[in-house]
Amino acid sequence: MPIEVVPVNSLRRHIEAIEGQLTDAANEVIRSGYFVLGPNVKAFEAEFAGYCGVEHCVSMANGTDALELSLRALGIREHDRVAVVANAAMYSTTAVTACGGEPVFIDVLADEATMDPAALAAALAAQPLKAVVVTHLYGRLAHIQDLVEQCRRAGVPVVEDCAQAHGAASVDGRKAGAFGDIGTFSFYPTKNLGALGDGGAVVCRDTALADRLRQLRQYGWSQKYTNALAGGRNSRLDEIQAGMLRCMLPLLDGWNERRRAVANRYSANIHNGRIALSAPAGQEYVGHLYVARTSERAALQSHLQQAGIQSEIHYPIPDHRQPCFGERFLATTLPVTETLCETVITLPCFPEITDEEVQRVIDACNQF
């Protein structure tokens, strides 16, 4: 009898427990006659802003639009230099280049895979930056307070990319998205807070900035059919997805707690000198992905596959080496980023994974 596979993630399991609530939410939207920018969107925006501890939430069609339109709202234009990390699958870099900006790649910390404050300090000292995008990768808060303080002193706005960090919080309880000038989120189904389709949002404290973002998500309109703001587009969260997200938001902290417990169990119980792990973490980490490191990645993946355990790579190609750039960044070297891209491996970690499955992953890693 074939062994049952332990998946990296299971959306089927995730949705199964709340299928009835989601069906009711969908039916309510269908009966309401409001399908775009209706009462569910307004309610979710208020609820999510409150959850993040900020004044404003502007929902959008996806997380990539949230990043790009945030940069446009901050005035990023052609040739403007914007600092980003290069180990997060091109999302921030794509937003910068879509605005005509120039990505400035910042190396990351080896143990945490988030932006290195010392490397940012060097970039700020080298040439002026127009913005910095700080990615909270794998569900772990970057050293955001240090990074924001540096940018404040330099007069540079900060965009937090929180697509993998819904609910991650500092020791004083401040949540991802509440540190910088803008926080962006994706609600892609695999995220800690995921819709049943695409979705995204931007959170901020500044009313004028929120107003610009609302214009940009709807063609740049100042009023209907009057396109007053350049760079706008159609980027609206559907009512039905807002209804789904409203059902899920009260469950998010519990899901994050389970993810963190699984991750910390791995960190405490995998003992193999060929596999490097992050230390157990607190509320600054919400376990979006559990990413280990090994110089023998192909061998470990093969070993796990034979044991009936899925694994993935997040992410194998650094942004400055992506084929779309050709030789544009040939002179750019990011030693830590490049090493991580060659060694990272993602182990199963999601709220509905069973304790028995977690033990199977631990045993398989220890037997490697």
Q: What is d(CA 333, CA 217) in angstroms, rounded to the nearest whole number?
A: 36
Tabulate helix, strand, coil % of the chain (nearest 5): 40, 15, 40
Note whether 275 and 76 are within 8 A (CB): no
| Model pLDDT, residue 287 | 98
- Distance CA(260)–CA(242), nearest Å, equals 26
CATH number of 12-106+113-250: 3.40.640.10
CB within 8 A of 272, min separation 6: which ones? 365, 366, 368
CA 124 to each of CA 98, 142, 155, 171: distance values in angstroms, whole numbers, following the listed order: 22, 18, 10, 27
pLDDT at 2: 72
CA distance 261 to 355: 10
Whether pTM > 0.75 for this model: the answer is: yes
Q: How many Cα atoms are found within 13 Å in the side-chain-facing hemisphere of 126?
A: 13
Q: Is the CB of residue 200 less than 8 Å from the CB of residue 237?
A: yes
330 close to 271: Cβ distance less than 8 angstroms? no
What is the pLDDT, as a whole number, of residue 47?
Answer: 98
In this structure, what are the phi and psi dihedrals at residue 260, rounded to the nearest 5 degrees? -65, -40
- pLDDT for residue 11: 97
Closest CA to 276 of 338, 335, 345: 345
CA atoms within a 13 Å half-sphere pointing along the CA-CB vector of 356:
2
In this prediction, residue 151 carries a pLDDT of 98
E-assigned strands of 63-216? 81-85, 102-106, 131-135, 158-161, 182-186, 200-204
Helices 252-269 and 355-366, interaxial angle, to 10°? 30
CATH topology of domain 251-366: Aspartate Aminotransferase, domain 1 (3.90.1150)
Locate 200 and state its tokens.
Answer: 């995204």
| Whole-number pLDDT of residue 280 | 94
Query: How many whole angstroms from its chain centre is CA 62?
Result: 12
Which of 213-219's residues contact partners 24+ apart within 8 Å by CB, and which partners?
213/58, 213/69, 213/70, 213/73, 214/58, 216/69, 216/72, 216/73, 217/58, 217/59, 217/60, 217/61, 217/65, 217/69, 218/37
Q: Which residues contact 27 (CB under 8 A, 6 or more apart)?
A: none
Report the pLDDT value the prediction gives residue 1, as an integer from 0 to 100. Answer: 61
Please report, for the chain, the start and end positions of each structural domain, with discontinuous segments joined by +.
12-106+113-250, 251-366
The dihedral region occupied by 53, where left means phi > 0, alpha psi between -120 and 50, and beta the remainder, is: left
In a structure prediction context, what are the per-residue pLDDT tens digits for the chain, which is 368 residues long? 678 999 999 999 999 999 999 999 999 999 999 999 999 999 999 999 999 999 999 999 999 999 999 999 999 999 999 999 999 999 999 999 999 999 999 999 999 999 999 999 999 999 999 999 999 999 999 999 999 999 999 999 999 999 999 999 999 999 999 999 999 999 999 999 999 999 999 999 999 999 999 999 999 999 999 999 999 999 999 999 999 999 999 999 999 999 999 999 999 999 999 999 999 999 999 999 999 999 999 999 999 999 999 999 999 999 999 999 999 999 999 999 999 999 999 999 999 999 999 999 999 999 99
Rounded to the nearest 10 degrees, what angle do helices 239-248 and 19-32 cross at? 150
Q: Based on C-alpha coordinates, what's the Rg of the chain? A: 21
Tell me the C-alpha distance between 236 and 284, whole Å.
30
